[in-house]
Amino acid sequence: MMPLSRWLRSMGIFLLPAPCWVPRERWLGPLQRLSFVHRGSVLGAWHSARCWCQARTEEPRIHYSSFRMNGNQKLDVCDEKRQNFIQHFSQIVKVLTEDDMGHPETGDAIARLKEVLEYNVIGGKYQRGMTVLTTFQDLVEPKKQDADSLQRAMTVGWCVELFQAFFLVSDDIMDSSLTRRGQICWYQKPGIGLDAINDAMLLEACVYRLLKLYCREQPYYLNLIELFLQSSYQTELGQTLDLITAPQGNVDLGRFTEKRYKSIVKYKTAFYSFYLPVAAAMYMAGIDGEKEHANAKKILLEMGELFQIQDDYLDLFGDSSVTGKIGTDIQDNKCSWLVVQCLQRASPEQRQILQENYGQKEAEKVARVKALYEELNLQAVFLQYEEERYSHLMDLIEHYSSPLPPAIFLRLAQKIYRRKK
């Protein structure tokens, strides 16, 4: 017989417990009841750990009214948190550049750094950085969330965003990309070119400057330093796998296996995009146990794989006006989820078409590959696969999220589910 929780999920209903910092005796009082939240409303229902604690420890009427908030009120809470996070970026730039802007020796370099920061770090979805802040607030008791701790959480969130910018600037050069976040890639700007390699290194260096400035006196400082260093190494290993699997001018379809694809995705995307921000918040909340981190990693790496599969699909079938970038996976001979799926289904004749056209820059050859994907109905294959992986992700959250609040993972899953950019 199917467990009740799984049946409820199949109907689009999630069961949300209290945050891990709420003592059991406080939430098993007169409000000893489960909360049912329809799919798509997880973030609104658990819009902050602070509101949930109030709902669980005060009068029932407050509990009920908190879930009768209209959509605008729910969004207001999230929007305010996001706006506070975005506004903190000006402080980040100020800390990194203001004191040295007029330095007689390095002033010009600092002015360049400011330009690099303002062009490359903002303009994204801020999902990775915001995850640090919201996870920290879910894990830490409200009375311990003072202005200083929240500022540190936002700063570490921006460290993740800087980390992302470092990878993107580098990746765009290696992939000969044209646009990023709705504007031309940094290295494509007049007068920049391959100088962007050094700019990317500056972005990475800023991560460790910020961690030192804001977190040096904190007990979790060493854990954060090691986490970012390890994430950098893992991501660069993933990028290496990506590059050596698809060398320029050498199309070898035999390299494009599902096993190799999963390895690339795990190391290039999943570690830094999903595990890094949650793990950073866990360390900041004093959660450093191996088991807790291993369980979180099990969920988050799976989530990262689904995210990259979506990225590969959107690279070809997404709307560039929505995604903000022009896909080049076919031209760049990438070990993409689409080409792996194509090879698993292609006839010998179709494989020959792929061999003759994949990894080529000519528009007509790219069009032939896209037509082949459509002939194999890969769009429908993707939609079914996305549903299956999302269901599997829900199972992992059910079994491995404890003792962390499941909402940490559900919130991330909801953000990527059926995403268009």
Helix H segments across 216-289?
A: 221-245, 258-265, 276-284
Any catalytic annotation for residue 274?
no
> Which residue of the set 6, 125, 361, 418 is catalytic?
125
Any catalytic annotation for residue 311?
yes
Residues 6 or more apart in contact with residue 353 via CB below 8 angstroms? 368, 369, 372
Any catalytic annotation for residue 307?
yes
> Which residue of the set 172, 199, 312, 332 is catalytic?
312
CA dihedral 374, 376, 379, 383 (to 10 degrees): 170
> Which amino acid, residue 141?
E
Question: Residue 117 and residue 112: Cα distance in Å, rounded?
Answer: 9
> Which residue of the set 9, 56, 152, 180 is catalytic?
180
Query: Going by DSSP bridges, is the β-strand pair 183-184/179-180 parallel, antiparallel, or unpaired?
Result: antiparallel
Any catalytic annotation for residue 108?
no
- Contact, 355 vs 251, CB < 8 A? yes
Any catalytic annotation for residue 242?
yes
Give the H or E element holding residue 156. Answer: helix 147-175
> Which residue of the set 85, 136, 166, 271 is catalytic?
166
> Which amino acid, residue 115?
E
How wide is the angle at C-alpha 218 spanned by C-alphas 213 and 222, nearest 5°?
Answer: 85
> Which residue of the set 81, 171, 255, 365 is catalytic?
171
Query: Going by DSSP bridges, is the β-strand pair 183-184/36-38 parallel, antiparallel, or unpaired?
Result: unpaired
> Which residue of the set 36, 82, 114, 175 is catalytic?
175
> Which residue of the set 228, 307, 382, 409 is catalytic?
307
The residue behind tokens 């770090």 is 121
> Which residue of the set 172, 311, 315, 329 is catalytic?
311
> Which residue of the set 9, 56, 268, 334 is catalytic?
268
Which string of DSSP letters, residue by residue, matches 352-368? HHHHHHTT---HHHHHH
Any catalytic annotation for residue 125?
yes
Residue 349: how many CA atoms within 13 Å on its side-chain side? 2
Q: Which residues are catalytic?
A: 125, 166, 171, 175, 180, 242, 268, 307, 311-312
